[in-house]
Amino acid sequence: MTEKPPIIVRLLPLVVLLIGISLWAVLARLNVFPEAAFPSPLAVAKGLGIELRSGRLIDDLVASLFRVTTGFLIAVIAGVPVGLWLGHHSRSRLALLPVVNFFRSLSPLAWIPFAILWFGIGDLPAIFLIFMACFFPIVVATIGAVAAIPSIYFRVARDYGFTGTELLLKVTLPAIAPQVITSLRVTAGLAWLVVVAAEMIAGRDGLGFAIWDARNGLRMDLLVAGMVVIGLIGVVIDRVIVRLMRISSVRWGYER
């Protein structure tokens, strides 16, 4: 069982945060940049309060989280099985892996014109872009995880009579879980980045649209407030996925 770090170590992120806010406040006070282009922490806090009281921030947050969750889950549900299948079938992997890597290398934002043409404006184009951003990296990560499983695992499992579904559930999935969860952690962060960009161009609501609207209205305080919320939610999403690493059947992969 791992020991918890001392309290002073756990408080270090808070100390760094306070130092950062203090430097921000000092720079704003010294008017290093024009006030309209560099709002102070107090102005941003007031703007955040205005957005919360109006209810707009909550509505935008719900819209963005819905799109990210839907697109990401569809990518996981489709990507992991495809990666498992390609990982176990060498000929199919040799034939299809270049295609998978080709699409993985494309910026998801390059799909924005097609997303708008095919799905219009709203939830569907953003969900499509998130899926395209996440699906191919998940497939590649799963293929790599399957390829890294020592062959002796399968030989021993077959000696014990494991076949088909039993082999998948008791050998393959536990063996690839640490690598796949690590890739999901990275991919979830990518999904959160993509939804903001998608909403700026192809959305009527959401945090990305709110930032773009604030920029058009020259409300830099609201723009920075939106940025703060996006960063905080990104941290929360990352922490949620990190919790998966603590599952007993997965934790061994990080402690080897």
Angle at 214 between CA 59 and CA 118, to 5 degrees: 65
Q: Are the C-beta atoms of residues 178 and 241 closer than 8 Å to each other?
A: no
Q: Where are the domains of the chain?
A: 41-255
Q: CATH 1.10.3720.10: does it fit domain 41-255?
A: yes
Structure tokens at 5: 């770090």
Tens place of pLDDT for every residue, the chain, 256 residues? 455 666 776 778 788 888 888 888 888 888 767 777 788 888 888 888 888 888 888 998 999 999 999 999 999 999 999 998 898 888 888 898 899 999 998 888 889 889 888 988 888 888 999 999 999 999 999 998 888 877 777 777 777 777 767 777 777 788 888 888 888 888 988 888 888 888 888 778 888 888 888 888 778 888 888 888 888 888 888 888 878 767 665 554 445 5
Residue type, 127: I
Structure tokens at 143: 């293929």
Q: How far apart are CA 109 and CA 228, in angstroms?
A: 22
Structure tokens at 100: 């998978």
